[in-house]
Amino acid sequence: MLEKETTYSLLHMTENDIAKHVFESAMQIHKDLGPGLLEEVYIECLAYKLMKKGFNVERFKGLPLVYEEVRLGTGYCIDIHVEKKLIIEVKSTDSISDLHMSQLLTYLKLSGNKLGLLINFNTTSIKDGFRRVINGYL
């Protein structure tokens, strides 16, 4: 019965609800591992933590790009896609740039998703590396 209740509640979560779980998981990972590791390490750990909570998670999800009438193979690759509602772009860099924010906004527009999270794990405090990007309105 608990599994059905969890599945039901996950299906009805908003992007903001999911984002809270992502933030909590990212904080725990940053506390446990600290900054300075490769992006792939943080992606795998974050995906694992979210799957452990029962979320449907896709890692390194390549999506096709359609430009005018031409369908191109994989046009872009999403680091983590949660419940087909939320895109997470993970970084491990000195700072988040406008280009990183623009990249995530482009992914949101192309995928039709409304909320994306840009998480830079290479910071003293994970709160400083966390950005929300909204496509349209929530």
pLDDT level of residue 72 (50, 70, 90 thresholds): confident
Strand bridging mode 130-134 / 115-120:
antiparallel
- Count CB neighbours of 27 within 10 A: 14
What is the set of domains in the chain, with CATH numbers? 2-134 (3.40.1350)
Q: What is the pLDDT of residues 74-85, one digit of tens each?
A: 778 999 999 999
DSSP conformational letter for 54? T
Task: State mean pLDDT over 43-52.
Answer: 98
Q: What is the pLDDT of residues 93-119, one digit of tens each?
A: 999 999 999 999 999 998 999 999 999
pLDDT at 120 over 80: yes
pLDDT at 64 over 90: no
Task: State mean pLDDT over 47-57.
Answer: 97
Task: State mean pLDDT over 35-53.
Answer: 97
Q: What is the pLDDT of residue 8?
A: 46
